[in-house]
Amino acid sequence: MQELIARTQTTRAPYALVSSNEIRRDDITIHEFSAEFNQGDLHRVETPRDRIVANCRTGWSAHLNIATGVITHNDAISGAACGVYTGDGVRSAEITEARNSPHGLLQKLKIETVGGLTRTYEVAPNGAILSESITDPAGKLRLVMTAISVSDQVPTGDLFSEPSLAKSVVPLELKEQASEPPR
């Protein structure tokens, strides 16, 4: 299972994925997109609130808070952007199942954190995370993420530099599709 976690954190495989996210808070449920792009050591994450570029090998990262326009540099951000997040302490981890998919054999990883969160991930052979869920210590499901578009082709152009944070690289139609509540 450590090998599976490491695969998500160190993959050099090119991929582009857009996901649909359902964020459940006590008072509201939010549906929004997220996107990830990976090429070699470089990784990019986008949500409606944030854009992050990171070098997953060196730990360098730049994070743009879209609401404030402020860019910060913080190695903890690259840790959260690059694969399965283990920065909050792992109490237990296990591979619970595997299933065939159009993207190859997906392995389902379940992690229980020191703080009581339960995270599950479905990991593709190339290290891309195609689904994720987070359950809080009280057993409430707080996040469901499902990839809706997956490609081994990364868009061309500047995606991984700090100046690239000024512009989204996610196509509008995918943002809209991923942000739709399920029917």
Q: What is the per-residue pLDDT across 128-142, written as a single tens digit (0 to 9) for each?
A: 999 999 999 999 999
The dihedrals phi and psi of 47, each to the nearest 5 degrees, come to -135, 175
d(CA 62, CA 75): 9
Of 69 and 75, which is predicted with more confidence? 69
Measured CA to CA, the distance from residue 58 to residue 78 in angstroms comes to: 9
Q: Could you give the dihedral angle defined by the CA atoms of residues 147, 153, 158 and 160, in that order, rounded to the nearest 10 degrees?
A: 50
For residue 169, pLDDT beyond 90 = yes
Q: Are 179 and 46 in contact (CB under 8 A)?
A: no
First-to-final CA distance of the chain: 35
CA–CA distance from 62 to each of 17, 43, 46, 162 (Å)?
20, 11, 12, 6
Cβ within 8 Å of residue 79, ≥6 positions away? 59, 85, 86, 87
Domain boundaries, the chain: 2-163
What is the pTM (predicted TM-score) of this model?
A: 0.94
Tokens standing for 172? 């509008």
Beta pairing partners, 51: 46, 64
For β-strands 15-24 and 141-151, DSSP reports them as antiparallel
**Residue 78: predicted pLDDT:** 73
CATH architecture of the domain 2-163 equals Clam (2.50)
Distance, CA of 99 to CA of 116 (rounded, Å): 27
Report pLDDT digits (tens) over 100-113.
Answer: 999 999 999 999 99
Q: Strand, helix or coil at 171?
A: coil
Distance of alpha carbon 36 from alpha carbon 150, whole angstroms:
10
Question: How large is the average pLDDT for residues 149-178?
Answer: 96
